[in-house]
Amino acid sequence: MNAMELFSLIGKTAIVTGGASGIGEAISEKFAIHGATVHILDCNREMGEVRAAEMAQRKLPTTFHPCDVSSEKEVGAVVSSIAAGRPINILVNNAGVAHVGTVENTSEADLDRLYSINIKGVYNCLRATIPHMKRNQNGCILNMASIAAELGIADRFAYSMTKGAVLAMTYSVARDYIEYNIRCNAISPARIHTPFVDGFLAKNYPGNEKEMFEKLSKTQPIGRMGKPEEVADLALFLCSDNASFITGTNFPIDGGFIKLNS
């Protein structure tokens, strides 16, 4: 049996929030390659339409839905439209925003923004999708947490708070819906090389991007940043039938950061 057969998602419908770029894009592509019908939810309409068109050219079944996950109304409408076509098998709560700052320089507006997307956005998607999975007596949910949910990282007060909440929601959902054959797990990445990292370096270290990139890479014990594709590989396994005995678990993908830095 080859990898395509071993991790097949043929016949499954997957929703990936924040699926138009970075880790979400990698997961969307990986799932589609392995046979899933993928629905990308993203607030960036231009980027989402480009990604969906690229996937269509490669004959990978992908549909883009412009959606602000912080809006219960928008999420409910999109999920209902997807469920009307075929059962929803997989939900990946990947959409999220970052913030750099301590409690003193995190404004109320900053906190509200992170809460609305990183916490309320996950809640909205869970609340809209789980009833459909319950009716089908089957489902797999994967939440994107972070190593910041497990240990203190400097200047990540609000971000760490939201990802801690994502982890708590993961455990709660896994417990509440295990009788419906719904699994729920989390992935906690360390520093992954995404467009966000490049944008952060360009904004804060103009002219010194390469030097700072190397410095940030070396904070990982393994000596480099992770790749979105590596996170996507883990997501594929956890959402495949090969992981049917796994639920209520958090999976760090961190280059040794948690254990080797503690």
Neighbour order of strands in the sheet with 62-66: 62-66, 37-42, 13-17, 90-93, 139-144, 182-189, 250-253
Phi, psi for 66 (deg, rounded to 5): -65, 125
List of E strands, 108-224: 139-144, 182-189
**CA–CA gap between residue 25 and residue 17 (Å, rounded):** 9
159 is known as an active-site residue: yes
Tell me the three state secondary structure of residue 1. Answer: coil
Question: Residue 94 phi/psi, 5° resolution?
Answer: -105, -25
DSSP, res 145: -
Active site residue: 115, 123, 159, 171, which one? Answer: 159
- The dihedral over CA atoms of 58, 10, 176, 148, expressed in degrees to the nearest 10, equals -40
The CA–CA distances, whole Å, from 156 to 11, 99, 260 equal 40, 7, 20
Bridge partner residues of 36 (DSSP): none
Six token digits for residue 36: 């899933």
Catalytic residues: 159
